[in-house]
Structure 1
Amino acid sequence: MAWLRFALTSTVFVLAIILLVPAQFIFLKTGVGPSAGTPMLFHRIVCRLLGFRIHVHGDMAKGRPLLLAANHTSWTDIVILGSLRKMAFIAKAEVAKWPLFGMLAKLQRTVFIEREKRGKTHHQASEIALRLAAGDAMVLFAEGTTSDGNRVLPFKTSLFGAAQVAIRDTDAETVTVQPVAVAYTRIHGMPMGRTHRPIVAWPGDVALGPSLIGLLKEGAVDVDVWFGEPVVIDAKSDRKALARTAEERVRAMVHTSLMGRDFLDTSESDAEPILKAAKNG
């Protein structure tokens, strides 16, 4: 049955690419058509094919410019977040060279960065700042790499500077930074746990092809997406303090999901330290 599911889902996946990729290419080149909405439709189709059941807590902030600071477990984080709202992503430069997925990233107007080259940090921050000022909700995977899905790695501070560059180099007086958490919790209705989370987690030493094939065969994965309490910053805000606050709030939300507790269902005494960390950093 797993291989039958793989055959069916992969066929629909290919059809979606054949139909939507040329359309998005035309939309971007001509400036006519739903160039921001087409990637969201594609991501929603892929989420259905992969069997993701997405449980959303909170909502994306309405203030602009908006930088979303998220944890990063797998390439599927992009599919899941991209299926929920119109947003663009900040990705490492290598992604642009990936077969197929590099092309898809470019069609979604992804900003590619070279994290290892510190000399380019300012230029890259400026590019992100321009997109923020233009009204694009930009997703920064602030850990700088993918984790094993069981924890949140320390957030890198450098690209948080893009929020301040947007204030300094544009007409924006403030920028909204919103912590976002993605946590994979169940598979086929059963708690996933550390043993089975590698089914989804993609720590970087696993080839993309086997990861995609495994998910197409498996299906039925529950995932929590948390849109945390936003932080509004101005030109005087501290970039490192902002990164620490976002990291603490994301870690609290991921912990809540992985421990099987929901803010709405947790007793007041148990919820207090988690809520305090998520809201106040």
Structure 2
Amino acid sequence: MPYIRAFAFVAAMAAAFVFLVPIQTIARRRGWAVQHSIQTGFCRLMCIVIGIKVAPAGALPASRPRFVVSNHVSWTDIIALASLYPLVFLAKSEVAGWPVLGFLARLQGTVFVPRGSRKDIPLVNAALCGVLRGGRDLVVFPEGTSSAGVDVLPFKPAHFDAIQAYDGAAAIAPAAILYTDGARPVDVGWYGDMTFLPHLWSLMKRGGVHCRVAFGDAIAFEGKDRKALAAETEAQVRAMLHEMRG
């Protein structure tokens, strides 16, 4: 089975480079709605090929755009979330150069931020605010790094300035992600000195991974500073994660 998954993965990536990338590039430049179907359809295919079954609970708020705030377990969070909704993500700048992941990130219009560069935060927040003004839903992982998914790391408040600078109606939408084998949590993270291809191969060999995604109630942001918003969102994401683990 993992060999079939590996063959399907290579075939899907090759087909994407030949057919989807040119269409998606034109669609994004011209604002065609088909870009959203391409994104969600391709990410659903990737989840199937790798062996991840996405199980959502709840939904994003009806009012758009949505500022989605989630815990971060692995790079697979991106394809899992994007298989449900057409989303724009915030990622560290080095992701753009990663094999496979960089391609997926660029295909989805990811906003890249230099790691540890505080002077670039205002520019990044301006770009994020521009995404919201364009009517697109945005995802940030305010932990600033991935984790084993056992608990939620402290949320950094820096990019909550983007939602406060937005001058229209928007919703802060908390989301919690948990990976299980159907019963118990499993570690699908890529971290430390792991190289990507062996990590991807281990995922394919494992197969049968369930990615549970819970969406919480929208959080009002009027009258709150970025630290208060980060703390309130973190508390709700942590509560959802603990409920899923329970």
TM-score (norm 2): 0.92
> How much has 1:184 moved relative to structure 2?
0.5
**Structure 1 residues 121 and 47: CA distance shift in structure 2, 3 A:** same
Residue 242 of structure 2 corresponds to which residue in structure 1?
Answer: 255
Distance 2:23 2:224 in 1: 41
> How much has 1:4 moved relative to structure 2?
4.3
> How much has 1:25 moved relative to structure 2?
2.1
SS in 2 for 1:3: helix
SS in 1 for 2:220: strand
Residue 206 of structure 1 corresponds to which residue in structure 2?
Answer: 194
**Structure 1 residues 257 and 147: CA distance shift in structure 2, 3 A:** same
SS in 1 for 2:34: coil
Distance 1:232 1:155 in 2: 17
1:216 aligned to 2:204?
yes
Per-residue CA deviation, residues 236-261 of structure 1 (Å, 9 max, x unaligned), is 322111101111111111112222xx
> How much has 1:11 moved relative to structure 2?
3.2
**Structure 1 residues 153 and 62: CA distance shift in structure 2, 3 A:** same
1:226 aligned to 2:221?
no
1:177 aligned to 2:161?
no
Is the 8 Å Cα contact of residues 60 and 66 (structure 2) preserved in structure 1? no
Distance 1:75 1:204 in 2: 14
Residue 35 of structure 2 corresponds to which residue in structure 1?
Answer: 35
RMSD over aligned Cα atoms: 1.9
Instruction: For 2:214, give the aligned amino acid.
Output: W
SS in 2 for 1:233: coil
> How much has 1:147 moved relative to structure 2?
0.4
Give the 4+ runs in structure 1 shifted more than 6 A. none
Distance 1:208 1:102 in 2: 12
Give matches, 1:10-29, under 5 Å: 10-29=10-29
Per-residue CA deviation, residues 49-87 of structure 1 (Å, 9 max, x unaligned), is 122222211101122232100000000000000000111
Residue 279 of structure 1 corresponds to which residue in structure 2?
Answer: none
> How much has 1:10 moved relative to structure 2?
3.7
Residue 107 of structure 2 corresponds to which residue in structure 1?
Answer: 107
Number of aligned residue pairs: give it. 246
Is the 8 Å Cα contact of residues 53 and 208 (structure 2) preserved in structure 1? yes
Is the 8 Å Cα contact of residues 90 and 112 (structure 1) preserved in structure 2? yes
The answer for unaligned runs of 5 or more in structure 1 is 260-281
Distance 1:177 1:48 in 2: 29
Residue 117 of structure 2 corresponds to which residue in structure 1?
Answer: 117
Is the 8 Å Cα contact of residues 21 and 104 (structure 1) preserved in structure 2? no
Distance 2:179 2:67 in 1: 23
Distance 1:4 1:44 in 2: 17
Q: Which has the higher contact order (CA 8 A, sep 6+)?
A: 2
The answer for unaligned runs of 5 or more in structure 2 is none
Is the 8 Å Cα contact of residues 175 and 232 (structure 1) preserved in structure 2? no
